[in-house]
Amino acid sequence: MASPQAEAQKAIIIQFREQVLGSGTVPTLEEQRAGAMAMGQSGTVPDGVTITEAYAGGVRAYWNDPEGCAQDRVLLYVHGGGYVLMSPKSHERLVAHLAKATGCRALSIDYRLAPEHPHPAAVEDALSAYRWLLGLGYEPSKIAISGDSAGGGFTLATLVAIRQAGLPQPAAAVPLSPWTDLEGTGESMTSKADVDLMVGREVLQGMAAAFLGPNGNARDPLAAPLYADYKGLAPIYIQVGGDETLLDDSTRVAEKAKAAGVEVKIDIFPEMQHVFQGSVGNMPEATDAVARVGAWLRPKLGL
């Protein structure tokens, strides 16, 4: 049974939807981005994390350094938002908590967004940031990659891009509620439509069109990693909510990766909404999920 805090967060989501959809007008992209930024800060601000700006291979980014953390390990984070919304600022609290739970610094990148910069701009930026970390002297075995929603799919796509570039794989990857199928063919897109308060088919179709551009391929593995070859990729830990329309985006990827011989762990959290981890510190399920990420990542990074 979902916690009272989780139920309260659902009420906030419903109220936000009514405010946006009840106006009868379709919000502009700028209005959508402003609203998404406001919704992204549902977690607490963790103590003892210093945030500084950097440029990772030409990509603006932000270091998150918990007090006393390992400086020779790093979690590279790519935020969610359907490739068109949000930024490291909207995910600042979540990333800081993940860094503390893991015990190392995190680098959250401000990759280029669609529709201004359609695919493959985002994955190019992530690959540039990964190359930059390697150039700084970080060993691949001491780098992990994580992201949520579109950033979760983007995390998997980055593993594929790293392999295609002939670079060594990182130690591990942690996709949270990953969006991996741009066509929405999973059964959960229908079966969970009545309980998912955040993600629906129509919204995803619009974001996919903006992300791919007029000539994009919805089954390009670097855009829709459901169609990727997983052979030789880094170990993967997936978290997803049980009430998500994107549930099958996670379960199908997990099955495919396991069949390719990849070490895969998947946790499905009953009754949880899309990227519920963002409420870390304010919702026990989210706090538990972030702690699980840290517990899984630490031995992968040698911590």
Provide Rg for the chain, Cα atoms: 18
Write down the residue that tokens 């517990």 correspond to. Answer: 295
Pick the closest to residue 73 from 9, 139, 155, 127 (CA basis).
Answer: 139
Query: Tokens representing 36?
Result: 């998404």
Residue 301 near residue 142 (C-beta atoms within 8 A): yes
- Could you identify the residue written with the tokens 């953390």? 69
Cα separation of 48 and 28, whole Å? 37
Query: Other C-beta atoms within 10 Å of 193: how many?
Result: 12
The answer to whether residues 153 and 225 touch, using CB atoms and an 8 Å cutoff, is yes
Q: State how far the Cα of 83 lies from the Cα of 218, in Å rounded to an integer.
A: 14
Q: Residue 121 has which token pair? A: 């701009």
H helix or E strand, kind and range, residue 10: helix 4-21
3-state helix vs strand vs coil in the chain, percent to 5: 40, 20, 40
Q: Which two tokens stand for residue 204?
A: 């995803």
Q: Tell me whether strands 59-66 and 49-56 are parallel, antiparallel or unpaired.
A: antiparallel
Catalytic residues: 149, 244, 274
Tell me whether strands 59-66 and 104-109 are parallel, antiparallel or unpaired. Answer: antiparallel
First to last CA, the chain: 34
Helix (H, G, I), strand (E, B) or coil at 70: strand
